[in-house]
Structure 1
């Protein structure tokens, strides 16, 4: 597996597959093992999948906030010999992509942000309850919503992983064998999540994003309980060249739930 050295000398890992235009991929989960991404439904290009500190095959120690890990992404850019990056990011990985754009706006060629959490970017109220109301009464979904409301019951890794499995049905628009199998791929360390989200963001972050001139496409799931739809659409408007594409009958993982629709939304943009 290829590696590069971060500015502090830490050896960080990345995966590489495919040919063509280089797309640097930032996984979500606040540090979930990138294996859950698969091949992103065959997304075209040379996919360079970054393993964040504390996740995947990068060292478990030394995990940092998503704001600080923007510097690691720039280290990967330099290692790849690129002047600017075309970023593809999912979920919590979009936090790092946005941090990178805010800190290195001239080094971003484009950003494809897939189901980004947006509550920290906009005060638009979440409509999650409304867009998923039709699923109320499904035992697995109701239990998942309650799990999101209460959070993990304990403070150790085992408790966190049990909570993730109970909460998983709320992250998809349906809960078939396909979604169930996908939910079990890719471990996430609780310690990494805590470090990832331990950050005080600059008050002028929205202004900084307004200075990012690169094209930005946001892909939203019409039934994404984890993010809601309205906040995601509002976040796309923070970028001067931002746009949003909504995929129907879809939750938080469009390349798993609606692969053809995902490719239709993503391929023209990344090419």
Structure 2
């Protein structure tokens, strides 16, 4: 995976599809169907980390964030679980890390994902 350096949209799509299984904890029909949905773009991937202001971290830390929850998987090969925790801490957000789950918890562990998300979305009753 680390040797991929696509230069055309076709090469990028082929590379993306070859690497897709690495983003999931399992590679069942549900994960395969999810990976096949939508389009990928080399231009968008190249632009992802372009033009980030030098003070981006300071801007994020200075903001007053809205109430937020960050949900990730403990087997996320794309980001790892620690960056999920760190991101949540930066946002002063609640964090939930789902066991035995990769980068797409709403696909891989949809029941657990809903168990974490729905109570968070439901206003507390007083």
TM-score (norm 1): 0.42
* Corresponding residue for residue 174 of structure 1: 26
After superposition, residues 87-236 of structure 1 pair within 5 angstroms as 147=1, 149-152=2-5, 154-203=6-55, 205-206=57-58, 208-236=60-88
Q: Quick check: 2:101–2:109 contact (8 Å CA) kept in 1?
A: yes
The structure where helix makes up a greater share of residues is 2
The structure where strand makes up a greater share of residues is 1
Tell me, yes or no, if structure 1 residue 268 matches structure 2 residue 122.
no
| Cα root mean square deviation, aligned | 1.7
CA distance in 2, matches of 1:264, 1:206: 33
Structure 1 pair 180–204 and aligned structure 2 pair: CA distance change class (3 A):
closer
Which structure 1 residue ranges, 5 or more long, are not aligned?
A: 1-146
* Corresponding residue for residue 88 of structure 1: none
CA distance in 1, matches of 2:20, 2:65: 36
Secondary structure at the residue paired with 1:246?
Answer: strand
Give 1:192 deviation, angstroms. Answer: 2.2
Structure with more contact order per residue of length (Cα contacts < 8 Å, sep ≥ 6): 2
Residue correspondences, number: 122
